[in-house]
Structure 1
Amino acid sequence: MLEVGTKAPEFTLPDQDGNPVSLSDFLGKKVVLYFYPRDNTPGCTRQACAFAGAFGQFKALNTVVIGVSKDSVASHRKFADKYTLPFLLLSDPELTVLQAYGVWQEKKMYGKVSMGVVRSTYLIDEEGVIQAVMPKVKPDTNAAQILELLSK
């Protein structure tokens, strides 16, 4: 994973509507960049809904929320519509950004080893520098943890 104080890697990925979104689009704002395994799974849904529930607070703090997974644009569109998610979901099926941010890792489940997204969050400042790195976050408390960091 990347370290606090390093420049966040620039990227451009399609959002849930197929529009290209670049990290540099948000210079001047803080960015919560959260990586999650899969749309419509229990943990990922709880995490997304927690961010959606706190969206007004993030907006008031000049902070953009962006979720990234390897799901397709169409999958993201359905996920965003189903749960009325008010933030961007970016599609990275080629794993370019997932690997650049070090969240595509070996995982073990029930003794089986496979590659996948480790649920992780980065807080990036207005100049594009990483302010906080949160590996292996809990879906239910991630949004609240970041709001706490932002209010310090």
Structure 2
Amino acid sequence: MEILTALRDAIAGHQNMLRKGILHRDVSINNIVIGKYRDKSKVGTRGILIDLDMAIWTDRMESVLGKDFRTGTRAYQSGNILHSYSEPFKCRPHSHLDDLESFFYVLCWICFSYLGVRNLKLPGTSPILEDWDDEDPNRAWRAKKSFYYESPPVLLQPTHSRA
């Protein structure tokens, strides 16, 4: 439950920044800080979105359109951003929807990487995550696309034994 409330607060923080005219553009597992979790933790302090070095003012987006708008950590980049590497003029600039998709990939990364509280799987155990983080953006894009449209991979099966 702690992870879900932290993600909820981070998404709410993203929404608040957007209302103030700031687009984050680098949502990743390393840019969400989990606050102290208690039953009575104040909403908005359980998950905080940090690291605004890639952020832009939304009212100045036209001034950055000529620059490379593909920002963020590869594993968490949206399909639109990844696809833009092969067809840069057919894709829209980075928007809040790309950031929301990145939050989804953060949740997936957590679900596919951890067996439980403080029980991280070893690196290399999830081919899907390796492909999402591939240096080649086209391969990462195809991996995410197949995640949506193909049958569920083995890694989505329960990891616990029935007793």
TM-score tier by shorter-chain length is: under 0.3
Q: TM-score, normalised by structure 2?
A: 0.25
Greater RCO between the two (CA within 8 Å, min separation 6)? Answer: 1
Higher-Rg member (1/2): 2
Q: 1 or 2, which has the higher strand percentage? A: 1
Q: 1 or 2, which has the higher helix percentage? A: 2
Q: TM-score, normalised by structure 1?
A: 0.26
